[in-house]
Amino acid sequence: MSTLEAPPDNCKRPADGAGDGDVKKAKLDEDAHSSHPKWTSLNSFKFVKVLREDPQAKSVCIHATSQLKRAADQSDGDAQSAEADAIILLEKTAFDTTDSGISTLLAPDTSLQQHFNNDIYGTYDSLLAPSLNNVKTVIIFPASAKHMEKYASHESHVIYESPEDYQSITLPYIQSSSFEMQWIYNILEKKKESEFIVYEDPDPEKGFVLVPDLKWDRKSLDTLYLSAIVHKHGIKSLRDLTPEHLPLLKNILNTGLEAIEKEYGVPKSKLRAYFHYQPSYYHLHVHFNQVKFTAPGSNVVGAHNLSDVIDNIKLYPDYYQKRTIPFLCKTNAKLYKCYEAAGKI
């Protein structure tokens, strides 16, 4: 894109009065999500295409469609049904390495089909019992064009965001974009997922809610993944953090680690706590992982250790307002197009 072309609309600063329709949109989003049914099989979906796959993680993300039921129309009183897009994420779960789990693997109903043998070596396909073939499944329905864009496979580039770039490109993009945040507020307000809350500190300034991340199957401790979502609104990302937030950050680090160790028996020395930059949503949250698990976004470019963030702010109060922060950005992302329009790529 030429720098002479007009940048995408959401690269621009919002006009005065922008956001007046946010309440209405949030209501529409909430209504749409309330129609998410409880499926018992995947045969209600029609396959469209593969959005992306990850052979290393043994996962695939597909685009499908299914019937979406709408509320009854006031004119005729009949419920409406239309085909809507869905995103289905399928990921093979980790092995149960407990004694009982391994014993089940070696049970008589596990059959073998040999492919190759040479001296003492043999290669087989193991046909396991159905109870051992669990595939973690996440369904996003109805899925919007933004979801399709997010989960599709696209090349990534490293963008080095200077403080000036943040002010002139990233921040206007954030301010002018319409992000789906209702699901976050549902958790904080205990409208959804309250039964999964591992720990909560209700303090409005330094409190947070600790919940399992969607990426975790909630079974294998080797892939343990939780998120701490702060109660305080208005903190978008690392860029907003200053000394006034140190009590909040310390509380998340210390109390979060203690809560996970108490709940799951995983010692603090086997856990890492970090921020993503750019985050997947602009409401401050911290990721907690098992150190042996390489979670998406935990690479050297995308992750910022919580303990390092605390130390950096102690040393330099305006550290995250003045430093250049690199981040990975997909070529289909609107933020990428904003940087491209500004001639930064």
Give yes or no for a contact between 233 and 282, defined as CB atoms under 8 angstroms apart.
no
**One of 245, 276, 283, 285 is an active-site residue; which one?**
285
Q: Which residues, in sequence order, are bridge partners of residue 273?
A: 288
Give yes or no for a contact between 328 and 158, defined as CB atoms under 8 angstroms apart.
yes
What does the alpha-carbon distance between residue 275 and residue 305 come to, in Å, rounded to a whole number? 6
Classify burial at 106, counting beta carbons within 10 Å of its beta carbon; exposed 0-12, middle 13-18, buried 19 or more.
exposed
Q: Assign 181 to helix, strand or coil.
A: coil
Among 290, 301, 157, 148, which residue's Cα sits nearest to residue 213?
290
Sign, CA torsion 39/41/47/52: positive
What does the alpha-carbon distance between residue 289 and residue 304 come to, in Å, rounded to a whole number? 13
Does residue 285 have an active-site annotation? Answer: yes
Q: Which residues, in sequence order, are bridge partners of residue 54?
A: 59
Classify burial at 300, counting beta carbons within 10 Å of its beta carbon; exposed 0-12, middle 13-18, buried 19 or more.
exposed
Type of residue at 40: T
Among 92, 90, 88, which residue's Cα sits nearest to residue 45?
88
Contact residues for 134 (Cβ-Cβ < 8 A; gap 6+): 93, 217
Catalytic sites, residue numbers = 285
